[in-house]
């Protein structure tokens, strides 16, 4: 049964296009095709597979502006961010285009023969993408998976399928054989579920909410299917009194407002050492009020709308509608501006946490809302930072090198930055501790997640 989905521009609420959603039969057909073309793709020589991925990167690069504009329209991303996101796909493809020729095994000394290991492709790999970073997250899955010799079926999020569909077309244009990389826009409960239950899909590479990720892992156990899970976050931004407080306060807004706060790495819990709390808040307020929220297609815009009315309702349930949903009303310290009228706008909002039990302090909001709390000393900061189910990202601001090292080793998170808010580089590993996920993407070791190690012993005595 075919169903349709209206893709809506979050800044205008206008219907951009209506898509036919893929059902189980088409999903099964795409998986069957991916199985069929697998041996030929795997047999492409390493140099040629690398060359095809570089060609794919070149074609994506030629279409950067088109892809970026598509993301502005589909997801409400600012044009600056959207260009970076398309560029990230190019960079990730180029980075992993070097991998086929470097998929090294090992030669291990043993008695009586020669022992070597091979990195074998898994077969058909599925990639399930959320709506918040449709292009980069797709690329972090498909680029290393293809480089390792797998075929890929990819499901974009229902809300944001357009750039993924275009990337699928560009792959064919670049010369990737039909069926090696197939985009299947459809529902999570249909296409996503089928990826998990289909016996020919050997791996699920999932990015999304912790609850859905847990469900996928449970079901994947039936077939001992490999999973990589990149899930939610509630990251801490820790500002010590010995830091450059001015710089910490000036940079804090975009550490949680980037992509309208719909960022798994958003630093949504700010911990400030009590001695500099007032000084920090004064500068932070000025910086929040200066953030330019508006038309995402305008070059000077820093923050666009929320992706959907549903996501904005979720954010409101933590702030305006907290009492209506049975929670204590939060203490709003100050807010930035946002357009009114059509579009799913929400203003940058800063809450003063009452305590670590606050719902807004504990739960991932996935919107432009941050909570701030003072701390006393290093031990208190570490305890508060780690008092969360999540462990994805975080920042530490201090001029004391010893403290920077101690605290970055003590915070339980996969991606930390000291005196900055950087999280993701295609050449370094990315992923979460605790409820933020399992496995790592990107960086030099990502190929391990898309291959099986095979050990072969050759008897030289025979």
Q: Which of 372, 437, 442, 449 binds ligand NAD (CB under 6 A)?
A: 437
Taking CB under 6 A as the rule, does residue 391 contact ligand NAD? Answer: no
| Buried/exposed 355-394: b ≥16 CB within 10 Å, e otherwise | eeebbbbbbbbbbbbbbbbbbeebeebbebbbebebbbbb
Closer residue to ligand NAD (CB): 96 or 366? 366
Q: Which of 366, 375, 426, 450 binds ligand NAD (CB under 6 A)?
A: 366
3-state secondary structure of 19: strand
The answer to whether 110 and 85 are in contact (CB under 8 A) is no
Minimum Å gap between C-beta 13 and ligand NAD is: 19
From 230, 302, 364, 441, the catalytic residue: 230
Instruction: Give the contact letters, 243-272, x = binds to ligand NAD (CB under 6 A), - = no.
Output: ---------------------x--------
The string of DSSP letters for 200-258 reads: TEEEEEEES-HHHHHHHHHHHGGGT-EEEEE-----EEEE-TTS-HHHHHHHHHHHHHG
The count of chain residues that interact with ligand NAD, using the rule CB under 6 A, is 32
Closer residue to ligand NAD (CB): 180 or 183? 183
Closer residue to ligand NAD (CB): 345 or 390? 390
User: Using CA atoms, how far apart are residues 92 and 425, in angstroms rounded to an integer?
Assistant: 9
Which parts of 13-72 interact with ligand NAD (CB under 6 A)? Answer: none
Instruction: Give the contact letters, 180-199, x = binds to ligand NAD (CB under 6 A), - = no.
Output: --------xx--xx--x---
Query: Residue 252 corresponds to which tokens in the numbers above?
Result: 């804090």
By DSSP bridging, strand 437-438 and strand 107-108 are unpaired
User: Using CA atoms, how far apart are residues 392 and 440, in angstroms rounded to an integer?
Assistant: 11
61 is catalytic: no
**Residue 107: how many other CB atoms lie within 10 Å:** 10
Query: Residue 216 corresponds to which tokens in the numbers above?
Result: 């996928």
Minimum Å gap between C-beta 93 and ligand NAD is: 19
Q: Which of 23, 46, 215, 429 binds ligand NAD (CB under 6 A)?
A: 215
Instruction: Give the contact letters, 124-153, x = binds to ligand NAD (CB under 6 A), - = no.
Output: ----xxxxxx---x----------------
Contact residues for ligand NAD, defined by CB under 6 A: 128-133, 137, 155, 157-158, 188-189, 192-193, 196, 207-209, 212, 215-216, 230-233, 264, 364, 366, 392, 432, 436-437
Catalytic residues: 230
């Amino acid at each position: 049964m075919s169903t349709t989905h209206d893709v809506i521009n979050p800044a205008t609420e206008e219907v951009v296009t209506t898509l036919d959603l893929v059902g189980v039969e088409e999903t099964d057909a795409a998986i069957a095709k991916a199985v069929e073309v697998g041996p030929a793709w795997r047999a492409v020589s390493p140099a040629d597979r690398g060359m095809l991925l570089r060609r794919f990167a070149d074609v994506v690069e030629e279409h950067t502006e088109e892809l970026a504009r598509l993301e502005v329209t589909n997801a409400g991303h600012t044009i600056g961010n959207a260009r970076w996101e398309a560029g990230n796909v190019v960079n990730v493809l180029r980075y992993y285009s070097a991998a086929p020729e470097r998929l090294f095994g090992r030669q291990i000394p043993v008695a009586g023969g020669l022992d070597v290991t091979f990195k074998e492709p898994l077969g058909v790999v599925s990639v399930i993408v959320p709506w918040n970073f449709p292009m980069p997250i797709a690329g972090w899955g498909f680029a290393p998976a293809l480089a390792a010799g797998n075929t890929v079926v990819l499901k974009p999020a229902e809300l944001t399928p357009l750039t993924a569909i275009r990337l699928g077309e560009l792959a064919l244009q670049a010369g990737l054989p039909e069926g090696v990389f197939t985009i299947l826009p459809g529902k999570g409960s249909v296409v996503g579920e089928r990826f998990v239950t289909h016996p020919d899909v050997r791996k699920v590479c999932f990015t999304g909410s912790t609850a859905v990720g847990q469900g996928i892992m449970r079901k994947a156990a039936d077939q001992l299917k490999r999973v990589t899970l990149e899930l939610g976050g509630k990251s801490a931004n820790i500002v010590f009194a010995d830091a450059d407080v001015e710089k910490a306060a000036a940079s804090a807004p975009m550490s949680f407002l980037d992509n309208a706060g719909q960022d798994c790495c958003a630093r949504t819990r700010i911990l400030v050492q009590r001695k500099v709390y007032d000084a920090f808040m004064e500068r932070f307020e000025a910086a929040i009020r200066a953030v330019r929220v508006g038309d995402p297609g305008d070059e000077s815009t820093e923050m666009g709308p929320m992706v959907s009315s549903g996501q904005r309702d979720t954010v409101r349930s933590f702030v305006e509608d907290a009492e209506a949903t049975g929670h204590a009303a939060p203490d709003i310290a100050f807010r930035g501006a946002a357009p009114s009228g059509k579009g799913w706008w929400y203003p940058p909002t800063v809450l003063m946490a009452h305590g670590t039990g606050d719902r807004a302090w504990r739960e991932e909001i996935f919107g432009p809302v941050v909570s701030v709390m003072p701390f006393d000393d290093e031990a208190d900061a570490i305890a508060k930072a780690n008092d969360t189910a999540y462990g994805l990202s975080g920042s530490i601001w201090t001029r004391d090198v010893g403290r920077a090292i101690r605290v970055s080793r003590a915070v339980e998170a996969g991606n930390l930055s000291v005196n900055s808010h950087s999280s993701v580089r295609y050449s370094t590993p990315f992923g979460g501790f605790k409820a933020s996920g399992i496995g790592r993407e990107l960086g030099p070791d990502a190929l391990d997640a898309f291959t099986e190690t095979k050990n072969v012993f050759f008897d030289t005595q025979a």
